[in-house]
Amino acid sequence: SNLVGAGRGSGGGDDLGAPDELIPFQDEGDEQDKGAGRGSAHGDLDELKSSLVNESENRSGSASGSDSEAERPPQQPRESFQKPRDYLAEVRRQQDGGFFKGPPYPSYPFLMIPELGSPYLPNGALSPGGARTYLQMKWPLLDVPAGATLKDTRSPSPAHLSNKVPVVQHPHHMHPLTPLITYSNDHFSPGSPPSHLSPEIDPKTGIPRPPHPSELSPYYPLSPGAIGQIPHPLGWLVPQQGQPVYSIPPGGFRHPYPALAMNASMSSLMSSRFSPHMVPPSAHGLHPSGIPHPTIVSPIVKQEPTQPSMSPGGNSKSPITVKKEEEKKPHIKKPLNAFMLYMKEMRAKVVAECTLKESAAINQILGRRWHSLSREEQAKYYELARKERQLHSQLYPTWSARDNYRKREKQPQQQIQETGNSVASKSKKLCVQYLPTEKPCDSPASSHGSMLDSPATPSTALASPAAPAATHSEQAQPLSLTTKPEARAQLSLHSAAFLSSKAASSSSSLTSQSPLLSRPIPFTTALLTSPPSFPTAIPSQAALAVLQAQPLSLVTKPAE
DNA sequence: TTACCTTTGAAGATA
DNA sequence: TATCTTCAAAGGTAA
């Protein structure tokens, strides 16, 4: 926590409490090295690729680890077999520094601004020029003209500035560069942003940017059509495509949170988008103030439209009726955690860097990048997530994550285990190495067969090269490699076969990006689950000894 | 059309 | 208390 506090600069003054999530960082003091190591990276893709080639060549000769590798605990083994996809990790090393170098999150609030407008096409596709710059934002961001039905959120009064408005989620159909409404700047002590970085000015062109409805809080989705017509120059944690995450009731806003206010044009858009039946006036999940949190999503948005008129009477409802009514309830989504926030922000970059489109593959990259982030960088997301949760709890004090649990019969863990033997019959898609091995990305890395991100020793099979010293996330969720029960089952059932086959087919094909190998503990589990099939995957005897010392906690889990 | 995949983290459920 | 389960985003993929 001290480290984080120092990194944020402001030290105390966090009225939201100590960043407990950051505590795991406190005992690791290599952050400066890490940050410095990435400091020179740039976001330019061409430069990155060329540097990747050079570095990969150097690496192949010296087999020396990168700075991040040097940070890795010595007990973390490395793998001798190289992975075709490891260039992605190299991309990560290169670009993580660039992404987080300088402006990205030196402090809050910041917004990431696309250069010369949106890199996304009206249909949501990413245009070639997806580069973004970061714009430090004045707080609050929203522009509410006088006379609007909403409060003026741009009030320079300290009271406004003190408001914490963690608006970080965005509706899917919003413009991808929907602005991030940051939290108050009393965190991370951003200081007063330069006047030239006012949200009204394009930092690139210097052209004053007229206020736009889509610049309003990303919590509030605009209609897809409206978004498509309105390029949004601001963005940060934004969905690339997506369904609306947050809905706004036609009732307007009476909310103390400045960023939750909207201007007249926004109200117009909202009213045109959300029909009364979509967002009931007194919808469940609404904040007592009547302000909907962006996590409110009318189920109808995703589900087929139903009769507008809801039968309020709750007498003798049939299960179907009850189900329908439940479906009509506004769906309050869970607040995004730190990694989800990170993913939202970085996904577009990864997609732009690679030809990969599948989210599963992208997420693997992002997962590794996440671990490659410095603690300070992660801390920013943890802080955002924490405030996100706080606001969420304020808006929906009665909401519980349980509310979003699927309505189904509970299956006790014991029962799950008892039925685990039948997992094979329920196995789904084989999920081991999602990223293509042959040509995972538009990178020159795979041309020479040297995995850019690949370590020199086989021990890396037990630890992602990207993974720094164990983070709190790893400590808290050592088996989160694949959280799906069925996937875990497959892990034990298929991992061995996969790994052995991969090892047999190619001595360098076992990739650390494989979910099985990307994290030490899960791999351990997989290894111990199917030891006979891991002859070539076992990195070292010492590592194996360590692995065997760990309990085998998951073997087979049945699919639902 | 729907669920899966894949990632991490938070929260609830369960043993 | 520890462990397990579910869900949050995302979009291609497969059934």
pLDDT of chain A, 560 residues: tens digit per residue: 233 333 333 333 333 333 333 333 333 333 333 333 333 333 333 333 333 333 333 333 333 333 333 333 333 333 322 332 333 334 334 433 333 333 333 333 333 333 333 333 333 333 333 333 333 333 333 333 333 333 333 333 333 333 333 333 333 333 333 333 333 333 333 333 323 323 333 333 333 333 333 333 333 333 333 333 333 333 333 333 333 333 333 333 333 233 333 333 333 333 333 333 333 333 333 444 444 455 666 543 333 333 333 333 334 455 556 556 655 667 888 999 999 999 999 999 898 888 888 889 999 999 999 999 998 899 999 999 999 898 998 888 889 888 888 755 444 443 434 443 333 333 344 444 544 433 334 332 332 222 323 332 223 333 333 333 333 333 333 333 333 333 333 333 333 333 333 333 333 333 333 333 333 333 333 333 333 333 233 333 333 333 333 333 333 333 33
Radius of gyration over every alpha carbon of chain A, rounded to an integer in angstroms? 24
Residue A529 forms part of a structural domain: yes
In eight-state DSSP terms, residue A110 is: E
Residue A112 forms part of a structural domain: yes
Q: Which residues contact A91 (CB under 8 A, 6 or more apart)?
A: A48, A52, A353, A354, A365, A441, A443, A452
User: How far is the CA of A296 from the CAs of A10, A183, A249, in angstroms?
Assistant: 33, 20, 10
Task: Give residue for tokens 């997420």.
Answer: A363
Dihedral of the alpha carbons of A56, A60, A61, A63, in degrees to the nearest 10: 110
Are residues A365 and A303 located together in one domain of the fold? no
- Residue A381 CA to residue A230 CA, distance in Å, equals 28
Residue A15 forms part of a structural domain: no
Are residues A148 and A208 located together in one domain of the fold? yes
- Residue A525 CA to residue A472 CA, distance in Å, equals 19
Are residues A475 and A534 located together in one domain of the fold? yes
Are residues A423 and A291 located together in one domain of the fold? no
pLDDT of residue A225: 33
Q: Find and give the residue nearest to B3, measured CA to C1'.
A: A428
Nearest nucleotide to A516 by CA–C1' distance?
B6
Q: Which domain holds residue A92?
A: 2-7+30-58+85-101+339-391+415-548
CA at A559, C1' at B4: how many angstroms apart?
A: 12
Are residues A262 and A209 located together in one domain of the fold? yes
CA at A243, C1' at C9: how many angstroms apart?
A: 10
pLDDT of residue A402: 85
Residue A201 forms part of a structural domain: yes
CA at A245, C1' at C7: how many angstroms apart?
A: 14
Q: Answer for the pair A559, A486: CB distance below 8 angstroms, yes or no.
A: yes
pLDDT of residue A358: 85
Give the pTM: 0.43
Are residues A223 and A177 located together in one domain of the fold? yes
Residue A358 forms part of a structural domain: yes
Q: Which nucleotides of C are covered by protein (CB under 7 A)?
A: 3-15
Are residues A260 and A232 located together in one domain of the fold? yes
Q: Answer for the pair A83, A445: CB distance below 8 angstroms, yes or no.
A: no
Indicate the residue among A283, A298, A333 that finishes a domain: A333
Are residues A40 and A141 located together in one domain of the fold? no
Are residues A283 and A380 located together in one domain of the fold? no
CA at A482, C1' at B8: how many angstroms apart?
A: 10
Residue A18 forms part of a structural domain: no
Determine if strand C comes within 7 Å of the CB of A355: no
Are residues A370 and A499 located together in one domain of the fold? yes
Determine if strand C comes within 7 Å of the CB of A130: no
Q: Which of A143, A186, A182 is nearest to A166 (CA)?
A: A182
Are residues A445 and A514 located together in one domain of the fold? yes
- Residue A296 CA to residue A527 CA, distance in Å, equals 42
Amino acid present at A247:
S
pLDDT of residue A23: 36
Indicate the number of domains in chain A. 2
Q: Which of A335, A334, A346 is nearest to A88 (CA)?
A: A346
Residue A179 forms part of a structural domain: yes
A111, β-bridge pairs: A135
pLDDT of residue A327: 54
Q: How many CA atoms lie within 13 A of A521 on its CB side?
A: 18
Are residues A242 and A97 located together in one domain of the fold? no
Q: Answer for the pair A79, A433: CB distance below 8 angstroms, yes or no.
A: no
End-to-end CA distance of chain A: give it in Å, rounded: 40
Dihedral of the alpha carbons of A338, A25, A454, A492, in degrees to the nearest 10: -70
- Residue A85 CA to residue A531 CA, distance in Å, equals 25
User: Would you tell me the crossing angle of helices A86-100 and A31-38 to the nearest 10 degrees?
Assistant: 100
Residue A63 forms part of a structural domain: no
Per the structure, the residues numbered 302 to 331 in protein chain A that have their CB within 7 angstroms of any atom of strand C are: 331
Tell the burial category of A271 from Cβ atoms under 10 Å away from its Cβ (0-12, 13-18, 19+): middle
- Residue A454 CA to residue A461 CA, distance in Å, equals 10
CA at A557, C1' at B13: how many angstroms apart?
A: 17
Question: What DSSP line would sit under A496-523, residue for residue?
Answer: HHHHHHHHHH-TT---TTSTTTSSHHHH
Q: Answer for the pair A307, A371: CB distance below 8 angstroms, yes or no.
A: no
Q: Find and give the residue nearest to B9, measured CA to C1'.
A: A337
